[in-house]
Structure 1
Amino acid sequence: MIYLYGLAAAEETVLSGMLTHAQGLQGPLKLAHIGPWCLIYSDHDDQEILPKRRLLLAHTRVLETVLPICTILPARFGLVAQDLAQVSALVEENATEITAQFAKVTGAIELGVRISFPRQVALDAALQSDTQLYAQQVALRKRGPEAHFAIAEFGGRLADLLDQRRGVAQRATLAALRPLTRDHVLRKPEEDTEVLRAEFLVDANAQDSFQDAVAATAAKLDFAPGAEPLIQMIGPVPMYHFVRLNLGLDLDQAAA
C-alpha cells in the first residue's frame, strides 16, 4: 500500500530537489507523474497510523516543504491507497474536479488570522457604551454581595452586550478584508474578546499588503478603545480549508 501526501502542480525534477532531505511517515518520499500533476507519496505497511503529534507534524512538514515552489492539493492525514494504479485511475476519473480545484488556488496561499483584545478593556468599553447597564453596575456595587441574583442577571446582560459588540467588530473586519482575498472561512471564536478567527485565501504576491491591512483594520476597531490588538497570523499553511485531494477512496482505506 502507499500513503498519500498530496498532488502537486510541478515537475518531478523540481520536487525531488526540494524533498531530498524530507522524510515520510514510514520511509523515503516518492514521486509519480499522474496526468499533468505529480503525486507525493511513500510506502505504507498497512498498519494503523494513529494521529500522534509527531506523525501529524511529519505529514504537514512534507506539504510545507513544497508550498514555496508550487500549488498542492493536500491529502488528509492518514489517507492510503492500494497502489499507484488505483490512484492513477481515481485521478483520471476526478480530473475535472481536480483541475477546478487547482484553478481556484493557483498563485494563492492560505493564511489564518486571529484578532483579540484585552478582556478588561473590552468589558469597560461595553459598559461605557450602555448607560443603563453602567448605572446598574454602580447600583450593584452599593448593594454588596447579598444581591447575588441581580449580579448574575447583570453579568448575563454584560456578556450579551460584549458578544454583540464582538459581532459588530467581526463584521467590520470582514468587510474590510474580504475584498483583498479570494475566499475565506469564518470560524467560531474561542474567547469572547476574539473578534476574528478565520482562514483566508490570499494571492501569494499580496501577502504583505494583506497583513498590513489586517493590522490597520484591527487598530481602527472600537471594540476596546486604546488597547493594542493582539494579532496572530498563521501561515502560509497547506490549503485544507479551500481545497483537498479528494479521490473518493473508501473511509476504511484511511489509516486514521
Structure 2
Amino acid sequence: MATYLYAITGADHPLRLNDVAGVGSPAAPLRTVKTKDLCAVVSDAPAELRAKRRDVVAHQGVQERLLADGAALPMRFGLVGPDDEQVVSALEEHRDTYTQRLAETAGCREYHLKVARDEDDLLREIVQESAEVQRLNERTRQNPDAYDDKVALGELISQEVQARQDRARTDIVALLTPAAVRTAAVEPTKRHFLSVSFLVEREKAAAFSEAVHAEAGKRGDAYTFDLHGPLPPYSFV
C-alpha cells in the first residue's frame, strides 16, 4: 500500500491528531512513521487522488494542527511514497537536513508576496525620464517607416522596463528581509515582477505585515501588493 505524506516533525512533537483526518473518501485514518529523531505523519494513499477542495482542505488541516503545537515540515499536496519502509529510509537518510529545517522553521510561518506595477504608469515614467527614449519616440512619430529606429526604441524600452523592475524588486526585498528569518525567491509571473516568500517568526508577523502595507502605500496606486499568509512554510522545507 502506497503511503501518503502530510508532514515531518521531531520525535518529541505532541501529535494531537485525534480530531483530524486525512485525504480520500472515506477519509483515511492518520498514523505515524517514526525513527529515533523524526516522525512522518502519513496515511494510506487513495487509489485516485485529485486536488479536490475536500482533500486539499484535509491535507492543510493536518498540517495546521501540527504547526499549532510545534515545528513541522509540510509536504506538498499529493506527495506519495511507495510504502512506510521507504518513508523510514528517507527519514534516516536525510535526518540532518530535516532536523536543521525543523529548527529553522520552528515558531515561523510563510508569507508570500507578489507585486505588480501598472504598465502604462511604468511606460510614462520611462518616457518622462529617458532622453533617448524621447528622441527615438519623436523620430518614429515623424518617420513611421524608420524601421531601425522602431527596433531600437522597442529594445531600449524593454531594457528600461527590466532595469526598473529589477531595481524595485531589489529595494522591496531589501526593505522586508530584516523582518524575516529567510527568503525564497519564486519565478515572477507575467503580471508580477516580484514573487517572493518570507519565513517570519510569529511574534514579528504583525510588524512584517505593517511593513508591507507601508511600502505599498509609499509606492502608490500604480503598484499592487498581494500578501498571502500565514501559510505553512512550504518554500523552506
TM range (shorter): 0.7 to 0.9
Relative to 1, partners in 2 of residues 1:189 and 1:97: Cα closer, same or farther, differing over 3 Å? closer
SS of 1:139's equivalent in the other structure is helix
Letter in 2 for 1:168: R
Which of 194, 197, 200 is the matching residue for 2:198?
Answer: 200
1:128 corresponds to 2:114: no
Aligned to 1:15: 17
Q: What's the CA shift string for 1:122-151, capped at 9, x where partnerless?
A: 11112212122123213322333x334422
What residue ranges of structure 2 are gaps of 5+ in the alignment?
none
Q: What's the CA shift string for 1:66-86, capped at 9, x where partnerless?
A: 244432212343322423x55
Aligned to 1:80: 81
Deviation at 1:169? 0.9
- State the structure with bigger RCO (CA 8 A, min sep 6), 1 or 2: 1
- Identity across matched positions, percent: 22
1:5 corresponds to 2:6: yes
Deviation at 1:38? 4.5
Deviation at 1:236? 2.4
Letter in 1 for 2:106: T
SS of 2:23's equivalent in the other structure is coil
- Cα distance in 2 between the residues matched to 1:93 and 1:185: 25
SS of 1:233's equivalent in the other structure is strand
The CA RMSD over aligned residues, in Å, is 2.7
Relative to 1, partners in 2 of residues 1:6 and 1:81: Cα closer, same or farther, differing over 3 Å? farther
Relative to 1, partners in 2 of residues 1:94 and 1:156: Cα closer, same or farther, differing over 3 Å? closer
8 Å CA contact 1:5–1:62 kept in 2: the answer is no
- Cα distance in 2 between the residues matched to 1:63 and 1:153: 55
Instruction: State the TM-score, normalized to the length of structure 2.
Output: 0.82
Deviation at 1:63? 4.7
Higher mean Cα deviation, 158-167 or 147-156?
147-156
Relative to 1, partners in 2 of residues 1:135 and 1:90: Cα closer, same or farther, differing over 3 Å? closer
SS of 1:53's equivalent in the other structure is coil
Q: What's the CA shift string for 1:7-30, capped at 9, x where partnerless?
A: 235313x2323x1xx441363231
Aligned to 1:209: 207
Letter in 1 for 2:131: T
Letter in 2 for 1:44: A
Letter in 2 for 1:97: T
- Cα distance in 1 between the residues matched to 2:151 and 2:89: 62
Aligned to 1:254: none
Deviation at 1:231? 0.9
- Cα distance in 2 between the residues matched to 1:33 and 1:105: 21
Q: What's the CA shift string for 1:163-200, capped at 9, x where partnerless?
A: 10111111111211111111111223223x73421111
Q: How does 1:63-212 map to 2 (within 5 A)?
A: 63-66=62-65, 67-76=67-76, 77-83=78-84, 85-88=85-88, 90-144=90-144, 146-191=145-190, 194-212=192-210
Aligned to 1:240: 234
Higher mean Cα deviation, 27-36 or 194-203?
27-36
Instruction: State the TM-score, normalized to the length of structure 1.
Output: 0.76
- Cα distance in 2 between the residues matched to 1:106 and 1:114: 24
SS of 1:168's equivalent in the other structure is helix
Q: How does 1:40-79 map to 2 (within 5 A)?
A: 40-44=41-45, 47=47, 52-54=50-52, 57=56, 60-66=59-65, 67-76=67-76, 77-79=78-80
Letter in 1 for 2:208: F
Q: What's the CA shift string for 1:221-245, capped at 9, x where partnerless?
A: 5xxxx534211112223322211xx
